[in-house]
Amino acid sequence: MTLQEYDYARESPSKLAASCLLLALTMKNLGGWTPTLEYYSGYCSQDLHPLVKRLNFLLTYQPHDKLKAVRTKYSHRVFFEVAKVTPMDMLKLEEILKSC
C-alpha cells in the first residue's frame, strides 16, 4: 500500500520493510523484535516505532476509493487474505511498542 503513497517515498526501503515486519509480528502476536532481526536488519526496535505507527494508521484509515486493485489482489486466499487483516488499535499498539 505504501508504493502509491507519496509520504512513504522518503523512507529507505530497508527501514520500511523492517517496520512492516515488526507491525506484522505485533499484529499476529508472533513475538517482538529479536536480537537476530536487529543484527540482520541494522535497525533496533525503537528506530522503527514511529514508522510502525504510521503504517498502522495507514491500514486503519485507508481511503476506500484508492488502491482498489491492490486491496482486491491481496484479499485473495493465494495471498493469505492479508488485506483483510484487522489493523491494531492505536493505543494497544503504542502500549506494546513501549514494552519492546
Each residue's pLDDT tens digit in the chain (100 positions)? 787 788 899 999 999 999 999 999 999 899 889 999 999 999 999 999 999 999 999 888 876 666 688 888 888 999 888 888 888 999 999 999 988 7
CATH of domain 1-97: 1.10.472.10
- Give CA separation, 2 vs 40, 57, 85, 95, in Å: 23, 12, 16, 24
d(CA 40, CA 92): 27
Spatial distance between the Cα atoms of 23 and 33, rounded to a whole number of angstroms: 10
**What are the domain boundaries of the chain?**
1-97
Q: What pLDDT, on the 0 to 100 scale, is given for residue 4?
A: 76
